[in-house]
Chains A and B, each alone.
Chain A
């Protein structure tokens, strides 16, 4: 019994991690690593905005439509990257033009997402080529990344990062307090459409490596981990980028050593980073520790009869 278990154990272990001919593989798959690093930078940066604008669900919705676009391209024999970009941008435009409030946006996402996934599955069922291609779109693949694709990825990254850099300040302003930003002359409507298109591009890029189902592991998890550790905007972006790059590049390097898709490695790494960040961040000062400062200092001298009870209720809630 034990012997059987041991055999299955080593076999499983061998499938998850195998470092035979590792150096040679690494040499062959440098385009994947390059593409992964680029993707990490893009995902890390845009993730911070996605968190600030509370758009995680929208990211998921866009990725399903991007998947539909990619599988349509696969079926029709077009370029898969182009297909996923088209799907992404279409979804992004629908969200950007129709969903102005968070509520509307969530409703539209909820409607679009299953439709996109359904379309994608339809196209894949009709496709009669290699099944690895099909699966790869959902769960990620590394072998498909060649030199051409790296060039495409770098070009996409330059567009997304430049675009984000240009709109960064007004975008963050309108994320904090939309009305105040509009009052100050921030073109909120245009900004949110431009942002969602950039987001669509980033999603389409991410799908090439981690697949449609796991895009969030690159566009949300690293940023969420970073925001547990800091509230400084610049530092948050930096940490988020580091976490995302470590997750993708590390994930790809581990995946080379096994025969499984790349995504479990990437998602596990980014999840582990998030867990650590959360644990470390949890030990920082939590909300409420300094919350009573104003009422404590000034409320005490106030003549209002409500001041005492207000101070008390604040102390109780803090």
Chain B
């Protein structure tokens, strides 16, 4: 069922046994500089398996860079980063990624099930019809589609699906290898409120079930708040880590930003005023994605 894990190193089985104890993510005194500009530094963070962490902060505070560090696409200037007890590598099956919703162009030659299958065998060489494991792949795809409630449109072209349906498929794709860590890069962007809650519920419940840790980068605090164990708030080269009650307060954020920031609670919803929230996030993200693809 987990073909990519079976292909691990010799010490892989020992590591898997102790995975319950080993933190999903361990950042120790981690820092990233771009030239003379410090993005963040001195970051210590242990993420337990199954823990859901929201990564918040204004544009340019280094949220996406943090994800890139954990994907091995950005080097730390200082400190160390480990995932499931192993140093960060290039493209490990231990890490799943859910990107932001980006409409797939009309005519893209993929059905829903093909998109999910890419999460399982997308990095293997050769065409699928020559792959001796193609039966297992198909079964795994069916199971994943079922899991995210996408079986109804398994055979439909991906580009005909709504943004919410596409994000379900991307979630299934990211969960395909039973990763220890799920990195979500603004997966709610350009979805309407109903779909935002829908997708967040899906990601959170799957992660709890599989004991997968989640780092959820987002500008939309409210859909994720019910699921969040801890918040990592980045701003101006500094950060705060703690429960939402500790971090998302007027005092704590004013201190972090070094200027007055107001946290307003209306019912069970939160608004952060003066924290540069909900502003300009679209092009900020388009930009960082371009960098990531390089």
Identify the A interface with B (CB < 8 A): 48, 51-52, 54, 100-101, 165-170, 172-173, 176-186, 188, 224, 227-228, 230-234, 236, 285-295, 298-299, 302, 304, 306-307, 310-311, 313-314
Given contacts A181-B122, A313-B192, contact A291 B127 (CB under 8 A): no
Interfacial chain A residues near B289, Cβ < 8 Å: 179
In chain B between 63 and 119, which residues have their CB closer than 8 angstroms to a CB of chain A? 71, 73, 90-93, 95, 97, 99, 102, 104-111, 114-115, 118-119
Question: Is the CB–CB distance between A170 and B106 below 8 Å?
Answer: no
The answer to whether B127 touches A310 (Cβ under 8 A) is no
Q: How large is the interface on B (under 10, 10 to 19, 20 to 34, 35 or more residues)?
A: 35 or more
Complex A-B, nearest 6 residue pairs according to Cβ-Cβ distance, in ascending order: A185-B91, A306-B193, A173-B122, A231-B157, A310-B192, A299-B194
Q: Which of A183, A291, A306 contacts B194 (CB 8 A)?
A: A306
Which secondary structure characterizes the binding site on chain B?
mixed
- B109 pairs with A48, CB closer than 8 A: yes
Closest B residue by C-beta to A178: B293
- The DSSP consensus for interface residues of chain A is helix
Q: In the assembly, what is the distance between CA of A145 and CA of B130, in Å?
A: 34
Nearest A residue to B162, CB-CB: A291
Question: Could you list some 16 contacts between A and B, CB below 8 A?
Answer: A52-B109, A101-B290, A165-B130, A169-B121, A170-B122, A178-B293, A179-B99, A179-B289, A181-B118, A182-B71, A184-B97, A188-B293, A227-B107, A287-B159, A291-B161, A306-B193
A234 CB contacts on chain B under 8 angstroms: 129
Residue from B114, B118, B165, B292 whose CB has the most chain A CB atoms within 10 Å = B118
Which residues of B lie under 8 Å from residue A186 when comparing CB positions? 91, 122-123
Verify if B62 is at the interface (C-beta below 8 Å from A): no
B197 within 8 A of A: yes
Q: How far is the CB of B20 from chain A (nearest CB, A)?
A: 24
- Bound form: Cα–Cα A304–B124 in Å: 42
Q: How far is the CB of B224 from chain A (nearest CB, A)?
A: 13
Verify if B46 is at the interface (C-beta below 8 Å from A). no
